[in-house]
A = this chain, B = another copy of it.
Amino acid sequence: MNLEQAGHLLRRLEGFCGLDDEERGALLAALSMERRIDSHACFIEERRPPEGVFAILEGFACRYKLLPDGRRQIVGFLLPGDICDLGTLLLRRMDHSIATLTPVTAAWLAPVTAMALLDRHPRLARVLWLAGAVEESITREWMVNIGQRTALQRTAHLLCEVFLRLESVGLTHGNACVLPLTQAELGDTLALSAVHVNRTLMYMRRTNLVDLHAGRLQLLDRHALASVAGFDPCYLHLCGGAM
């Protein structure tokens, strides 16, 4: 695992709680098995037993559920630095699928390895537990977003969130970051049709809120964006970052 990628991970975890060299070492050692995954590949399938814990080192992935008629709801983004599926480790079968949105490199821990790591390093266990709690919190906020906000507010809210999450691991440059999603994928995330996502993004571009273009997100007016979204970063538990 190269140092920059490990940096995203550590930076994120240490946002919660300091780690000593031994803990850092143990975590990195456990995550030493890397795997590259193609873009748009489903690498964890609903109804199959969980295959362990993994960390996203590079690239974007998502959790999603399919409906019988082919509709899809994306229920979470997995960004660089995210550690995934500690919670599902004990479940018999996955209740959702996970797929890449771009090429991804991930580090894997077999279930037994993960359990051993948690047993031997209580503070590491706490931090990972915390990271899971934050993901839960994000899921709840997404439900509010989809349930209560208009297309404009909803889109603005998601863009605020993604930007802050990327910023917290050092993946933004000024007011810009990558966001390599098609409008159809944004639609599956926001529970909007791709057409309406397009209209909404066009409107945001015209009104100088954001420019999302060729996989690159630029916040033209951060404050106004947060304002139309009604964005309150509290739920990200970032301990510091404001909008």
Chain A: residues with CB nearer than 8 A to chain B? 46-47, 63, 65, 67-68, 71-73, 75-76, 87-88, 90-93, 95-96, 126, 129-130, 132-134, 136-137, 139-144, 146-149, 191, 230, 234-235, 237, 239
Contacts and interface: CB of A to CB of B under 8 A. Distances in A.
B191 A132 contact: no
A18 to B, nearest CB: 14
Nearest to A192: B147
17 contacts: A65-B140, A65-B141, A65-B144, A67-B149, A68-B230, A72-B148, A73-B148, A87-B132, A90-B130, A92-B237, A95-B140, A96-B140, A136-B136, A139-B143, A142-B143, A146-B147, A148-B191
Contacts of A144: 65, 67, 73, 75
Q: Most B CB atoms within 10 A — which of A140, A141, A230, A234? A: A140
Contacts of A139: 136, 139-140, 143
B143 A143 contact: yes
Contacts of A132: 87
Nearest to A47: B234
Contacts of A68: 230
A61 to B, nearest CB: 15
Contacts of A67: 144, 148-149, 230
Nearest to A153: B67
A134 B88 CA distance: 8
A121 to B, nearest CB: 14
A76 B147 CA distance: 13
A88 B237 CA distance: 11
Q: Most B CB atoms within 10 A — which of A47, A87, A95? A: A95
A126 B88 CA distance: 11
B234 A95 contact: yes
A46 B141 CA distance: 13
Contact of A146 (B88, B130, B141, B191): B191
Contacts of A87: 129, 132-133, 136
